[in-house]
Chain A
Amino acid sequence: DTGVSQDPRHKITKRGQNVTFRCDPISEHNRLYWYRQTLGQGPEFLTYFQNEAQLEKSRLLSDRFSAERPKGSFSTLEIQRTEQGDSAMYLCASSVGTGGSYEQYFGPGTRLTVT
């Protein structure tokens, strides 16, 4: 069990550029979450996949954001035309099971800095 991995760990980009992050969940985990964490705050939910289906998107996820999980394995989060307000830590988590009692396992995060 190698845990949840995320790539890259750090990304610095200029305003207006597009960025893509990757998350590899724990194998056999059918549930995958993306959260965003800004300085001094707790993580906030962005979107959720059950297998390959994206079942919920937060209102935080503007139309510049898109996420995919092809084949129900890894997931990507793309931000188009980045803005300085997008600077944050993007966390991916995975879980197994069908109830709320199953804990989520978090990756190390991707820290995005938009200059």
Chain B
Amino acid sequence: AQSVTQLGSHVSVSEGALVLLRCNYSSSVPPYLFWYVQYPNQGLQLLLKYTSAATLVKGINGFEAEFKKSETSFHLTKPSAHMSDAAEYFCAVSASSGTYKYIFGTGTRLKVLA
């Protein structure tokens, strides 16, 4: 069975500082991994995805993530935080066959301090 663990349910950074949100996965087959962002009372918006091409994936709004098989990690980073980045971030792994449903982590709420 596949699973995702997000370390840190709340992360605070100063505006302009590095953002690092952690995601570790468990999968017996090469995974498809996704990062989504959710603003209050809204649905989820895709930031980026890993589909076994390049291990460093660039997404929208300056975010990127690196797939590290040896560490079973897919951490999300952004060099310089902006106030508008404050939101909840979810890492997800796609089931390896059949429905390709997502298995989500519990989310990390990012707070950006002025």
Contact = CB atoms under 8 A, between A and B. Distances in A.
Interface of A: 4, 6, 31, 33, 35, 40-45, 48, 50, 55-56, 91, 93, 95, 99-109, 111
User: What 6 A-B pairs come out closest when comparing CB atoms?
Assistant: A42-B104, A101-B51, A106-B43, A100-B94, A100-B100, A48-B99
Interface of B: 9, 32, 34, 36, 41-46, 49, 51-52, 90, 92, 94-107
A104 B43 CA distance: 11
B44 A43 contact: yes
User: Which label, helix, strand, loop or mixed, suits the secondary structure of the B interface?
Assistant: loop
Contacts, number: 69
A33 B103 CA distance: 12
Contacts of B107: 40-42
B43 A91 contact: yes
Contacts of B105: 42
A3 B39 CA distance: 17
Contacts of A33: 99, 101-102
Given A42-B104, A100-B100, A107 B90 contact: no
